[in-house]
Amino acid sequence: MEAVTRLVKIRTSKTTLAIGDGANDVGMLQEADIGVGISGAEGMQAVMASDFAIAQFRFLERLLLVHGHWCYRRIAAMICYFFFKNITFGFTLFWFEAHAMFSAQPAYNDWFISFYSVAFTSLPVIALGVFDKDVSSRVCLEVPSLHQDGVNNVFFSWSRILSWMLNGMCCSIIIYFGSLNAILVQAVRQDGRVAGFDILGVTMYSCVVWTVNCQLALYISYFTWIQHFVIWGSILIWYTFLVIYGLFSPAISATAYHVFVEACAPSPLYWLSTLMIVVTALIPFFVYKISRTLYYPQYHDQVQRANSKNW
Amino acid sequence: MDSHAAGSSSGGSGDGAAQPRRNSRKPKYSKFTQQELPACKPILTPKWVISVFVLVGVIFVPIGIVSLRASQQVVEIVDRYDDACVPAGVTDKLAYIRNDSIPKACTRNLTITKDMKQPIFVYYQLDNFYQNHRRYVKSRNDGQLRDKSKASKTDNCDPEAKTVDGKPIVPCGLIAWSLFNDTYNLIRNNETLSVDKKGISWKSDRDHKFGSDVLPMNFQKGPLQGGKILDSKIPLSEQEDLIVWMRTAALPTFRKLYGRIYVDLKENDTITVQLENNYNTYSFSGKKKLVLSTATWIGGKNDFLGLAYLTVGGICFFLAFAFTLLYLIKPRKMGDNSYLSWNRATLGR
């Protein structure tokens, strides 16, 4: 049977799935791209050689139609979003270099940069990759043709990947040039003080954190308390970190010493420019999403819409 | 966006009730593991889209108007003086600025364009000066600035770390060495306006980054003088010009606070500025400008924020209008099951 599997794989270049429950199926399970082993009457050998193990043959339907659909969508979205958030962040550093003689001076304090992927934007991505659902499991079972989204590579096509990257680039341009023009060169507060390198860094970084997290909130279709907690929580963690880090002695915090509580928070210009920049950066994606789902819906959009009860 | 109470899903691994006494190895059911937590599943409908855009427009346009008005109320007078203050007939500006025997005094006249209420802020603005270059930003030693006992620590400060005979320079580094040293004396109707130079730096810098027992030592003793010479009897925490200068700017065009005037200036007043044109910006085609400005709750004069809010608010109103039109002209009935592919004759995508 493994010879047959290999023949099908090579001749048709398609992804193959094999399901079996006995020791004689082990070869076939290993040869196929996806091996599903059934644990039970014939022992555990098939399970040990498989990628997925289920308890009864009829669970295969659920595995493919429900979990297959959800996981494909989640992983594709997670990877595209990951590129987006890092491009948004990284490119603001590049645009700054154009104004710093390309001397490799980072626009932000070192610890801001180190904690970006760890503390401020990591949990929402995990929530996206683990919990997001576009339709319920009942709908997945009722509409088996949703499975074709995976076969046709709808969610991870090159156009999707590149458009997320383009979105990241546009967001970074809006954030960088918006912060620059709003905050420099004039005074930023009523006491006549101007913004230096540190205030610009904090403003840009806050805009980046807000933008990438709100972008995720615009994208996901399933909001439990977990999603709310991680998205708004990440933004709160950023401000908390800024305050706490600013309390450390200047030997450690360098340019971030007291910068938020003393310089940024009392300045209405800081808060107003954050609001303006974040909303402006999110508008292109929002308009695209509206046009797509309302006027050019794809198949999965239609299914999702047909299955939500209230209009 | 619509909400649902709970995801509707039939039991996943529903075991038949055929053998009720058998030990089931089915995992314990929990909403979390079965992913059936109560959830909000927002769906975009035209009503929501239009309301969101109208809401954003309604919030942004007034903010834009208020910000723009505040910015328009600020009176700002900018005067570039680096080229005008070079005496007529001098072709080699670099030699002029480096020659200590040529007097650098220069007189400029500023006319106040609108009434300015005190406090009026005096800034100096430099163009094409890259205070954000990595080697420049690095060239300081924070420990030395804070603590008298660390006076000999001059890491990162090269080439302004030690004098030729090996004595440490306090404060070391290029940032301190290039301290701006033009001075301005403002006179109105033959009466000198006093410029308050206290409190121009950030309080956290004065209190925690620059020590009150650290005195300048061996400063600007080298062959090339880069900027101002500091009084070695005044501790660093009181040298506010130095503190303001050492808070490095973000971009090559920047302003730094020079002082405050606590006198009202009237429209058409003429302010005579007697300045000392000491600072060398001629070697890198930099510009020097003197700025007098008032400030409002939003800060100094910058129309960008107000205009940006108005633009975005306007765009949102336009989009709301456009989507309303589209909705009225081409209503696409939501939930119309005839659009679903399995209800159509051909499988459409």
Residues belonging to chain B:
349
Place of tokens 């009720």: B20
B41 touches A at CB < 8 Å: yes
For residue A136, give the nearest of B7, B43, B204 by CB distance. Answer: B7
Residues A72, A25, single domain; the answer is no
What residue of A is the nearest CA neighbor of B2?
A310
Lowest mean pLDDT among A242-246, A255-259, B328-332: B328-332
Expressed as residue numbers, the domain containing A88 is 61-309
CA distance A113 to chain B (A): 16
Question: In this structure, are B61 and B136 located in the same domain?
Answer: no
Is B136 a member of any domain?
yes
Q: Do A302 and B342 touch (CB under 8 A)?
A: no
* Within a domain: B21: no
Pairing of strands B120-127, B270-276: unpaired
Q: If you ran DSSP here, which 8-state letter would residue A67 be given? A: I
Do B51 and B83 lie in a common domain? no
The whole-angstrom separation of Cα A308 and Cα A133 is 13
- Residue B80 lies in domain: 75-294
Question: Of A14, A29, A55, which one is at a domain's C-terminal end?
Answer: A55
B7 in Cβ contact with B36 (< 8 Å): yes
Per the CB < 8 Å rule, is B146 touching A250? yes
Examine residue B159 and say whether the peptide bond preceding it is cis (omega within 30 degrees of 0). yes
Are residues B236 and B155 located together in one domain of the fold? yes
Number of compact structural domains in chain B: 2
Q: Do both A160 and A192 map to the same domain?
A: yes
Minimal CA separation from B81 to chain A, in Å: 18
The whole-chain average pLDDT of chain A stands at 90
Q: How many domains does the structure of chain A reveal?
A: 2
pTM of the model as a whole? 0.89
> First-to-last CA distance in chain B?
25
Interface of B with A in 217-246 (CB under 8 A): none
Chain B interface, best mutation among A61, A105, A179, by max B CB count within 10 A: A105
Q: Is B146 on the interface with A (CB under 8 A)?
A: yes
pLDDT tens digits, A97-143: 999 989 999 999 989 999 999 999 999 999 999 988 888 888 899 98
Q: Label residue B164 exposed, middle or buried (CB < 10 Å: 0-12, 13-18, 19+).
A: exposed
- Structure ipTM: 0.89
The reply to whether A102 and A71 lie within a common domain is: yes
Question: How would you write the pLDDT of chain B (349 residues) with one tens digit per residue?
Answer: 333 333 333 333 444 444 455 677 777 888 888 888 888 888 888 888 999 999 999 999 999 999 999 999 999 999 999 888 888 888 888 888 888 888 889 999 999 999 999 899 999 999 999 999 999 999 988 888 888 888 888 888 888 888 888 888 888 889 999 999 999 999 998 899 999 999 899 999 899 899 888 899 888 888 888 888 888 899 988 999 999 999 999 999 999 999 999 999 999 989 999 999 999 999 999 999 999 999 999 999 999 999 999 999 999 999 999 999 988 887 766 555 555 555 555 444 4
- B83 shares its domain with B68: no
